[in-house]
Amino acid sequence: MTTAPVLRSLLFVPGNQPRMLEKALGLAPDAYVPDLEDSVPLEEKENARGVVASWLPSLAGAGPLVIPRINSLDTGLLEDDLAAVVGAHIFGVSVGKIQSAQEVERIAAMLSDLERKAGLDVGRIRLVPWIETAMAIVDAYRLCASSPRVVGVAFGAEDFTRDMGIERTANDAEILYPRSVIAVAARAAGVLALDTPFFGFRDPDGLRQDAATARSLGFRGKFAIHPAQIDIINETFSPSPAEIEQARRVVAAFEAAKQQGRGSTSLDGQVIDVPVVRRAQRLLEVAEQTGGTE
Ligand code: COA
Ligand code: MG
């Protein structure tokens, strides 16, 4: 199994907006997500396909991973979308409104065909399915574990609440359950949980709070819809210097206790035992990956 990439911030760019694609080249999210799905109106779908295909080489050359988002299987657009984006310039494909593990398997088979035709190694194109319907929540673990191509799964709160026929509220109570299901299913399958975009793109404090909630549940990154969201998301999903320092103290205290033949100890009046030290070690691994320990 390949190690998971760092995917803290994934910037959506509407696929029919060359001006925004150009702008994206000067930004540094962990991934670009040129979108062919819901930010592109139906009458623009074909145009967007051509625009995105022509921008893939420049996007890939800019540094961030490129993960176009394409339309769901039931739209009849997916085959042409896939054919337009599959190639050496993309890291993976994100697919909207995935309903089940079987859908992932079907798309994975289509990718294998396209990879063969393009002379690419079969299996190299990764998948980021969107879990944003009641059915997908019910099938979440199988969906996350359905293919080695799946590197992460995305939670879409707007489509989820639409599918449920419920209101989207300011306190987010209605999305705690699906978010929790996705975080746990993703972890169990060893893939990244990636959180729904925050639509208030002129509300940095709201974004920070929303991203922190997602992180606290186990999400490892979040989609951005506007350039101003990238830094806040990267910061929220990177361990802070204080967290890194505390984790190092925890590991050191535990090591010292181990030298004395003890399996637990205390630090600042808190018990340090195996799960606590493992959590600290995991935080240090993430910090290492995001450059926080340099
Ligand atoms: N990617 C790249 N550039 C973007 C961008 C994005 N997602 N969103 C905005 N920009 C650019 C704008 O083009 C503008 O560039 P300019 O200064 O060269 O004119 C600059 O950033 C500032 O944008 P701003 O004026 O603050 O916002 P806007 O009114 O142009 O756009 C939105 C606001 C929400 C319409 C726009 O951010 C957007 O379309 N986001 C993507 C939405 C999306 O993908 N939704 C689907 C996922 S749910
Ligand atoms: Mg959606």
97: left (phi over 0), alpha (psi -120 to 50) or beta: left
Residue nearest to atom 11 of ligand 1 (CA): 20
Domain assignment present for 3? no
Same domain, 123 and 227: yes
Name the closest ligand to CA 198. Answer: 1
Asked whether residue 18 falls in the same domain as residue 149, the answer is: yes
Closest listed residue to residue 151, CA positions, set 131, 130, 132, 126: 126
List the domain range (segments joined by +) for residue 269. 241-289
Q: How confident is the model at residue 211 (pLDDT cuts 50, 70, 90)?
A: very high
- pLDDT (0 to 100) of residue 293: 81
* Shared domain check, 270 and 199: no
Instruction: Render pLDDT for 24-61 as a digit per residue (tens, 0 to 9).
Output: 999 999 999 999 999 999 999 999 999 999 999 999 99
Instruction: Please give the distance, rounded to the nearest whole angstrom, from the Cα atom of residue 111 to the centre of ligand 1.
Output: 30
Q: For 17, what's the count of Cα atoms within 13 Å in the CB-facing half-sphere?
A: 15
Tokens of 126: 């990764």
Please state the rounded mean pLDDT for residues 145-171. 97
178 and 144 co-located in one domain: yes
At 257, the pLDDT band (50, 70, 90 cuts) reads very high
Whole-number pLDDT of residue 291: 86
Q: How many domains would you assign to the chain?
A: 2
The predicted-structure confidence for 128-157, as pLDDT tens digits, reads as follows 999 999 999 999 999 999 999 999 999 999
Residues of the chain with pLDDT > 70, as a percent, come to 99
Do both 254 and 227 map to the same domain?
no
User: Which whole-number Å values give the CA distances from 2 to 47, 123, 148, 229, in the listed order?
Assistant: 35, 12, 9, 29
Which ligand 1 atom lies nearest to the CA of residue 156? 48
Ligand 1, atom 13: nearest CA belongs to which residue?
20
21 and 129 belong to one structural domain = yes
Q: Model-level pTM?
A: 0.96
Contact 196, 210 (CB under 8 A): no
| Residue 225 near ligand 1, beta carbon < 6 Å | yes
pLDDT, the chain, mean: 96
Is a pLDDT exceeding 60 seen at residue 2?
A: no
* Residue 158's CATH number: 3.20.20.60
Q: Ligand 1: which residue has its CA nearest to atom 21?
A: 227
Residues 247, 170 share a domain: no
Give me the torsion for CA of 28, 33, 35, 36, rounded to 10°: 140
Question: 197 lies in a domain?
Answer: yes
Residue 279 has pLDDT above 80, yes or no: yes
Residue 294 inside a domain? The answer is no
Residues 284 and 179 in one domain: no
Q: 97 - beta bridge partners?
A: none
Final residue in a domain of this structure, among 210, 236, 262: 236
Looking at the fold, whether 271 and 173 belong to one and the same domain comes out as: no
Same domain, 72 and 146: yes
Residue 4 lies in a domain: no
pLDDT of 1 above 50? no
177 inside domain:
yes
pLDDT of 238 > 70? The answer is yes
- Same domain, yes or no: 90 and 217: yes
- Residue 172 falls inside a structural domain: yes
Mean pLDDT score, 253-281: 94
Return the exposure string of 139-173: e unless at least 16 CB atoms fall within 10 Å of the residue's CB, then b. Answer: bbbebbbbbebbbbbbbbbebbbebeeeeeeeeee
Examine the domain organization and report whether 133 and 89 are in the same domain. Answer: yes
Look at residue 294 in the predicted model and tell me its pLDDT: 77
User: Is the shortest distance between the CB of 18 and ligand 1 below 6 Å?
Assistant: no
